[in-house]
Structure 1
Amino acid sequence: MRRRRFPILRLGAALPTLTFPILVAAQGKTIQLAWTTDARVRMQDGTYGPDGPWQAIAVSVGTTNSTFPTDLELPSPFTSNPNFIPRSGFYTGAFVPLYPSGGGLSILLASESSPNQTTEKLYNPSLSPSANKFGSQMGNADDWQSWTAVNEDSWGEGIFDLVTLGDKLDIAPDDGHGGGYFFANATLNSLERFNVLLPDGRKYTPPVGILGLGIPSRGFNGAPNDPEPGGILLGLKREGKIGYAGFGMHLGSVAYNQPGSFILGGYEKNRVLGDVGTFRWDSEDLPYMFLLDIQLGVQSEKSGFSFGTDGSSNTSIWAGPTDNEVKDAENLRKRLGAKEGTAVVVPNPGAPYIYLPKGTCEAAAEQLPVRFNESLGLYIWDREDSRYESIMRSSAYMSYVLADRWAKNVTIKVPFQLLNLTLEAPLVDEPTAYFPCQSLEADYGFWTLGRAFLQAAFLGVDLERNLTYLAQAPGPLMEQSILRTFVSVENGGDSAGIESNDIGEFESSWLGVWLTAEKTDRSADAVDGSTGLSAGAIAGIVVGVVAGVAMLGFIIWMLKKRSRKDDRTETPAANMADDNRGEWSSSPKACAEMNTERDVSELGVPTAHEMESAGIVHEAPDMKREYVELPADVPLAKKD
């Protein structure tokens, strides 16, 4: 059992009340946070590993004396800070990537030895005049407890400081002087040590920290006499910059060029598909959910294979928390009122993998081309196995069935394309494809659905109602973005009224990826379910029609020529001249099957083409003609 290092609060340490001003270009009381992969964000690469690739929120932390705007209306608690002297220019701080979270504590790697926090990507509180240390040493301090899944060893100092976030719709890409920046007070865990321990004893430092937007834990929430709770979201709500203390998030996919979505005060409706599950927070401020089942399935039967042993397209691999030794999990399940066999889980962007009860990942591995790596504690994809290519080019998925507060089941399908992630140095010497499913002993009673899961799920956090929302998210070919705001408590009762698009958009949003796969896997004789004809049969019919048209033209030409011979006594050359002026002119005339202006193809297979030729039928230039039957077995071109 891992031992949690609880925060140690030094007695007598002052907890200053800092209420920083906020400057923001809000869109209808919502703010779209900028991601590191956004074109207007000045990040070198914008993607992060070593177990991704992932995208993160672009955040600046801290201030410098010479770079804070002087035209802001500063409240007295802020201006009374003796360490902060605003001067001309614009803010530039340590530009760091952070994964968003509903917890209240922001966690980032810092270094007192970092000489220049404008370029180092490391936060140095000693260089930030707005930083205030509140005298607490903290380790493994993520409020959503990602450290229960990640074998983390961290230690740092508690600090209040300024963070700068960018609205992706209104930030300036070049000089940083756009209006889409806003400032907020944040409670930080400034880490001097941040390691993740591997099963073989090695350790590494993750390059991305956590952006806590919720309410900080008790003791790190401002001065003891401060009547208002702290936290970035509630601060923005009080300032009137967002209309609701909540956010909607979809992590998206770097591999499939799907940008992330993170909306303060609202959400993007196109990121929410089908039924929306509603889950209540408990007294520990954790967004607990009840996981009932996990299945391997195929969205389309045209994928050409099945996970089920009986020929069905779906099969359950759920083992459940059945071990008697998992007492903490059993006690938590009973306390929360979940039914027997249920696993309590927490969705958390701060953890990379999908952490499940023992037996579930193992059951999945039995049906997948993977091998277990003891040193990493992870499953590695066997890319030499023919099943690997078939799965990655199909509509196969791993689905998760969860029960919400109303005992309504919500299913999240994670396509295997999103479960084909890459390990990089320092974990491995060469880039390695891996399956992000890891068995875990739930020492603290629950399991974690990390970033791998959240690529395919919409997650909403509602601080005003203490609720979490979960729904299916779309694939790369998603519909147009439509911003929505959360419904207020006064107007919406016990739900924020999350709107969603039709669940049918899930399949269509992946259609391009899945169709490419099915085209490659099909042979020329694969049967199309919509027409009942194979691609080869359609090609043969088309070529046969062309040959028939050519033969019919020849017969008509012969009849006309014979008729002219009977009526006129002209030389063959004259006859040829007449023919050239008639219906069968030697001037180029297109002869093509169907309409050449429009591609005709069966769904999901390569387009059937006529043989490669000029595509033009000419009359022969002399009296001698050779007639050749066109081949009717032209094969379809296979995709490489």
Structure 2
Amino acid sequence: MSLMARSAVPAPFSIAPSWNWSGNDGSWSTFEIAVGTPPQSFHILPATGSSEVWVPIPQACEGVMINVPNCGLLRGVEEGRGFETNASSSWDLLGIYELEAEQNLWGPTGNPGQYGLDKVTLEAYPSGQSVHLAEQTVAGYATANAWVGNLGLGISVGSFADVHKGTVPSLLDAMKSQNLTSSLSFGYAAGASYSSPRDYGSLILGGYDKARFEPSNLNFSITGTDSKALPLNIVSVIAENTLNGTLSLLPDASSITTVIDSTISQMWLPADVCELFAEAFGLTYDETTGLYLVKSAAHRELVQNNPKVTFTVSSVNGSSATTNIELPYAAFDLQAGMPMFNASTNYFPLRRAANESQQVLGRAFLQEAYIFVDWERDYFTIGQSIHQNDTTNIVPVLSPAYDSGNDADSSGLSTGAIVGLAIGACAVIAAFIGVAALMVIRSRRRRRDAERLKTDLPTELHSEHIKPPEIMSAQVYEMNSGETSRHELSENAKPLIELQASTPESELDGDGERYGRYGWDKKPNTYYELP
């Protein structure tokens, strides 16, 4: 690695939070991005299972949402009711395709997106500096399966058949190629609305925030070629202080293979595991929505008892090493709203997985599990979240390319020349040892004062930042290019849907009315409990 190349290594990029909480299936800490020219602003959620930017379009506020005046705000749109492609001079339409991610959960059809290339603007926190990424893959959608927009953190290359643009790199690739980050990596804390004070999310590109989690020193291998996944084994699930006391929520002490995916909110687990959760927490399965609801009496008792669920997880590579992630009941105490219900309804973030491909730990799990992903070294790590917003300790992670010795940004000095210069420098340094000794006390005092005022983003790369962090010790694997080919939907395919087909018209027992064809008649912020 050359001296010049090291000095040019960019600092990690911390994406600015929106300082808002959004969602129709929970209260999630969002981040702010802008799309288009002039920029249209959105509050979005990080999506580990996607490599694209998704934003709602005006059709997302039609159907049962058409008479909801703040529909756009509810879906993370700062102005208007969705992304106006015709208002962006930099929009380049590619066509209508099915949304790239979550087809294993939502099905391969029925969730179309209006795909195009456009400028995406990110704001760094806390500096406020903006970066502009041209020709990013942007999908405008109307489906209710994705409520607020997503910022894809994957590295799959978008491939669009029969269009002039061909393949499109991911946002992380674009950041690295423009020297805005030092690696294809990120650290993400989902935040927790239930903590006191509220813990807002944190998203670091090219590094992670060491102050936001307890290191586990356990690395998990990344699997897949075209579409990389973040798998792990759930070895045990122990619930304490439930309605039935302390018990295991895994049948026959069996393990479960799942993937982590922040694109979705809930945990998708086998039906028999879901039933054990239902018995322990007094949950009622709703056939229409597929959600597990919490009745009023059970909810009051659970809030009072404050159960704790401990997930013990391990890598899928056969290692016996494990780590624990503990979730309080507050992490499961979520509310579902429009368009599923016309009043905020208590539910438990659990869904039935039909097969292993649907077994997912979503954003609810990540409220208590900080995740760091290094796509170039093919591994990730998780650790128990630390809920605080007061301090940061952001650690850069460098691409393996910086250690290859083949960096194009070379100073031209050979290793021998550098060593020779270092030896000569030692003689000069010796002459100043006496002076340096006199300066030690003063220097230490200055460092202590500077420590109180220093910013968390490093301005220089010292040894702690040059090497990979100690929590990342997994093997390095060669990456696949990640290209996938996508075919545009035909003109006879389903149009961008309105929120209508799956909306139930029946009512729950008690006061929990679902949305019918005539919209809603209760205040959306009214929390509602089943009897």
TM-score by length of 2: 0.64
Equivalent residues in 2 for 1:21-40 (5 A)? 29-37=11-19
Aligned-residue offset at 1:346: 1.9
> 1:122 aligns to what?
82
CA separation of 1:291 and 1:222: change in aligned 2, threshold 3 A:
farther
Amino acid at match of 1:497: P
Partner of 1:166: 123
- The whole-number CA distance in structure 2 between the counterparts of 1:348 and 1:221 is 27
Deviations 1:189-244 (A, max 9, x none): 43354233xxxxxxxxx431221233344514999999x97222222222222222
Question: Greater CA deviation, 157-166 or 232-241?
Answer: 232-241
Q: Structure 1 residues 121 and 482 mapped into 2: Cα distance closer, same or farther (>3 Å)?
A: farther
Distance 2:78 2:212 in 1: 34
1:100-135 deviation digits (Å, cap 9, x = unpaired):
124322222224999x9982152122221111123x
Asked if structure 2 preserves the Cα contact closer than 8 Å seen for 1:215 and 1:221, the reply is no
1:506-585 equivalences under 5 Å are none
1:464 is displaced (CA, Å) by 1.8
* Equivalence for 2:227: 285
C-alpha contact 1:221 1:231 (8 A) present in aligned 2: no
Q: Where does residue 269 of structure 1 map in the other structure?
A: 210
1:190 maps to 139
How far, CA to CA, are the matches of 2:284 and 2:78 in structure 1? 43
Report the RMSD for the aligned CA atoms in angstroms.
3.5
Is the 8 Å Cα contact of residues 51 and 155 (structure 2) preserved in structure 1? yes
Report deviation, 1:182. 0.9
User: CA 1:498 to 1:458, structure 2 compared with 1: closer, same or farther past 3 Å?
Assistant: farther
Give the C-alpha shift of residue 439 in structure 1: 1.2
Confirm or deny that 1:497 pairs with 2:438: no
What displacement does 1:376 show? Answer: 2.5
- 1:296 is matched with 238
Q: CA deviation at 1:369?
A: 3.0
CA contact (8 A) 1:280 1:287 kept: yes
1:50-73 per-position Cα deviation (integer Å, ceiling 9, x unaligned): 111112221110003xxxxxxxxx
Matching residue of 2:184: 245
Q: Percent identity?
A: 19
Does the aligned pair in 2 maintain the 1:243–1:265 contact within 8 Å?
Answer: yes
SS at match of 1:56: strand
Residue 58 of structure 1 aligns with which residue? 32
* 2:300 paired with 1:318: no
Q: After superposition, where does 1:216-235 map in structure 2 within 5 Å?
A: 216-220=156-160, 230-235=169-174
The aligned residue for residue 602 of structure 1 is none
Structure 1 window deviating more from structure 2 (260-269 vs 149-158): it is 149-158
Deviation at 1:425, TM superposition (A): 2.8
186 and 446 in structure 1: CA distance in 2 versus 1, 3 angstrom threshold: farther
**In the alignment, what sits opposite 2:392?**
481
1:540-571 CA distances to partner (integer Å, 9 max, x unpaired)? Answer: xxxxxxxxxxxxxxxxxxxxxxxxxxxxxxxx
d(CA) in 2 for partners of 1:225 and 1:253?
Answer: 40
Within the candidate set 459, 468, 476, 2:371 is matched to 459
Matching residue's letter, 2:232: F
Report how many residues are paired: 382
What's 1:418 paired with? 331
1:168-188 CA deviation, whole Å, 9 max, x = no partner? 2022xxxxxxxx111113533
- Residue type matched to 1:318 in 2? L
Q: 1:426 to 1:406 in 2, by over 3 A?
A: same
More strand, by proportion: 2
Cα gap change, 1:229 to 1:461, in 2 (>3 Å): farther
Q: Does 1:94 align with 2:58?
A: no
Q: Is the 8 A contact 2:243 2:282 kept in 1?
A: no
Q: 1:238 to 1:153 in 2, by over 3 A?
A: same
For residues 121 and 181 of structure 1, do their structure 2 counterparts lie closer, same or farther at Cα, with a shift above 3 Å needed?
Answer: farther
Give the corresponding residue for 1:201.
Answer: none
Q: Which moved more, 1:450-459 or 1:372-381?
A: 372-381
Q: Could you say which residue in structure 2 is the equivalent of 1:363? A: 276
Residue in structure 2 matched with residue 470 of structure 1 by the alignment: 382
User: Counterpart amino acid of 1:484?
Assistant: V
> Which residue of 1 is the match for residue 23 of structure 2?
49
Relative to structure 1, the CA distance from residue 306 to residue 416 in structure 2 (aligned partners, 3 Å threshold; closer, same or farther) is closer
SS at match of 1:160: strand
Retained in 2: the 8 A contact 1:281–1:288? yes
Secondary structure class of the residue paired with 1:367 = helix
Q: Distance in 2 between matches of 1:377 and 1:221?
A: 35
For residues 292 and 451 of structure 1, the distance between their equivalents in structure 2, rounded to whole angstroms, comes to 16
The residue identity in structure 2 corresponding to 1:124 is: E
Write the distance in 1 (CA, Å) between the matches of 2:346 and 2:403.
Answer: 45
1:149 aligns to what?
105
Q: Are the structure 2 counterparts of residues 468 and 287 from structure 1 closer, same or farther at C-alpha, using a change threshold of 3 Å?
A: farther
Runs of 4+ in structure 1 over 6 Å off: 221-226, 306-309
Shifted more, 286-295 versus 349-358: the winner is: 286-295
Secondary structure of the structure 2 residue equivalent to 1:452: helix
State the alpha-carbon separation in 2 of the partners of residues 101 and 210 from structure 1. 6
Whichever of the two has the greater Rg, that structure is 1
Q: Which residue of 1 aligns with 2:52?
A: 105
Of 77, 93, 98, 1:139 maps to 98
Aligned to 1:387: 301
CA distance in 2, matches of 1:208, 1:235: 23
1:428 & 1:383 partners in 2: Cα distance? Answer: 16
CA shift, 1:411, in A, is 2.4
Structure 2 matches for 1:303-342, cutoff 5 A?
305=241, 313=246, 315-319=247-251, 342=255
Equivalent-residue separation in structure 2 for 1:254 and 1:478 (angstroms): 12
Distance 1:308 1:110, change over 3 A: closer
- What secondary structure, in the 3-state scheme, does the structure 1 residue paired with 2:17 have? coil
Change (3 A) 1:391 1:492: farther
Give the whole-Å Cα distance in 2 for the aligned partners of 1:222 and 1:236: 27
Q: Distance in 2 between matches of 1:480 and 1:234?
A: 29
Q: Look up the match of 1:566.
A: none
Under a length normalisation based on structure 1, what TM-score does the superposition of the two structures give? 0.54
The 2-side partners of 1:230 and 1:448 are apart by: 26
SS in structure 2 of the partner of residue 365 of structure 1: helix
Kindly provide the CA deviation profile for residues 321-376 of structure 1, in whole angstroms up to 9, marking residues without a partner as x. Answer: xxxxxxxxxxxxxxxxxxx9543322111111100011111101111133233332
3-state SS, counterpart of residue 323 of structure 2: strand
Relative to 1, partners in 2 of residues 1:446 and 1:343: Cα closer, same or farther, differing over 3 Å?
Answer: farther
SS in 2 for 1:120: coil
- Is residue 235–residue 256 contact of structure 2 (8 Å, CA) maintained in 1? no
Secondary structure of the structure 1 residue equivalent to 2:110: strand
In structure 2, what residue type is equivalent to 1:268?
D
CA distance in 1, matches of 2:278, 2:358: 22
User: Equivalent residue of 1:194, what SS?
Assistant: coil
SS at 2:155 equivalent: coil
The aligned counterpart of 2:200 is: 259
Which of 205, 211, 214 is the matching residue for 2:151? Answer: 211
Partner SS for 1:149: helix
SS in 1 for 2:154: coil
* Separation of aligned partners in 2, 1:33 and 1:280: 24
SS of residue matched to 1:195: coil
- Greater relative contact order (CA < 8 Å, ≥ 6 in sequence): 2
Q: Given the superposition, is the C-alpha separation of residues 382 and 156 from structure 1 closer, same or farther in structure 2, using an over 3 Å criterion?
A: closer
Alignment partners' CA distance in 2, 1:141 and 1:159: 13
1:223-282, Cα deviation, whole Å (9 max, x unpaired): 9999x9722222222222222221100101123211101001111002231313322232
Question: Partners in 1 of 2:180 and 2:162 — Cα distance?
Answer: 21
Report deviation, 1:289.
1.3
